[in-house]
Amino acid sequence: MTYKNVTIAGSGVLGYQIAFQTAFHGFNVTVYDINDAVLGKAKAKFSSLGEAFKRDLNATQQQLDKTFQNLSYTSNLLEAVKDADLLIEAVPENPEIKIDFYTKLAKVAPDKTVFVTNSSTLLPSHFAEATGRPSKFLALHFANSIWIHNTAEIMGHNTTDPKVFDAVVDFAKAIGMLALPLHKEQPGYILNSLLVPLLNAATSLLVNEVAKPETIDKTWMKATGAPVGPFGILDIVGITTAYNIDKIAAEKTKDDLKLKTVAYLKENFIDKNKLGVATNEGFYNYPNPAYKDADFLK
């Protein structure tokens, strides 16, 4: 089972990176999003991503020219999937949005198309029925800055076809990823099972007024040797993603601290469009965040 034509649904923080990485490795990639204005923003981001590939991967101009030739764009879902062997869903981390998307997708995608979700915390079994093809549906989760942090977690559910699972593992390797198969559904997969508790602990310290973001990040960076602290990570991941995850948890548990955290993030970041690296402002200002200053840890 091989894939040639890949559709990326959603051109946000991770979607546009997945699209570029896949096109860079020779696949025909169609980028789909809700309207042409959003797609225009994605196109603009590809130029800076090309420079990152030159800097970090020593990519040649010839490779980048070919990458751009492999990319096409549409806001028409039927057009986006008409030839797709594989569709990678990278829409917002909201169950209602994802279910609505898969319900529409199931009506127009060819029978051959395999669906994968890039969800960072939600289980594929949550959406399997909505896809209309549960045996051809699983999770393929990427870390941010995927050309450097090139991990790909592959996780099926109890009715995923093993052959489809293996084919997605092969695809992940084909686009330069370190393929990481999971053999059982796990909320948060491997990466976020480790990372989310750290980020939750950091936001709890902030919301409870124990310390400021810079102090918390300095503590983590100096004590562990990490190049970035939890609030720098939140800016990279995208504060909207963290907010949506916390909101789901707050609604489910009614936990006072979770509710307080959601309200804090909404008031101070979401409502002010301070969403992290994507908007050049979050806990830090970009493109030159304070934690990268030579004197930050002094």
The tens digit of pLDDT for each residue in 233-276 reads 999 989 998 998 899 889 989 999 999 999 999 999 999 999 99
Residues 6+ apart with CB under 8 A from 161: 135, 136
pLDDT score recorded for residue 207: 97
The residue whose two tokens read 């959601």 is 262
Kindly indicate the confidence band of residue 93, based on its pLDDT and cuts at 50, 70 and 90: confident
Lowest-pLDDT range of 94-103, 194-203, 216-225, 240-249: 240-249
Cα dist from 124 to 102, 108, 247, 298, whole Å: 12, 20, 19, 45
The tokens describing 83, both together, are: 């030839």
* pLDDT over threshold 70, residue 1: no
CB under 8 A, 24+ apart: contacts of 203-210: 203/230, 203/234, 203/242, 203/246, 203/261, 203/264, 203/265, 204/257, 204/261, 206/231, 206/264, 207/257, 207/260, 207/261, 207/264, 208/257
Spatial distance between the Cα atoms of 3 and 166, rounded to a whole number of angstroms: 12
Average pLDDT for 281-296: 96
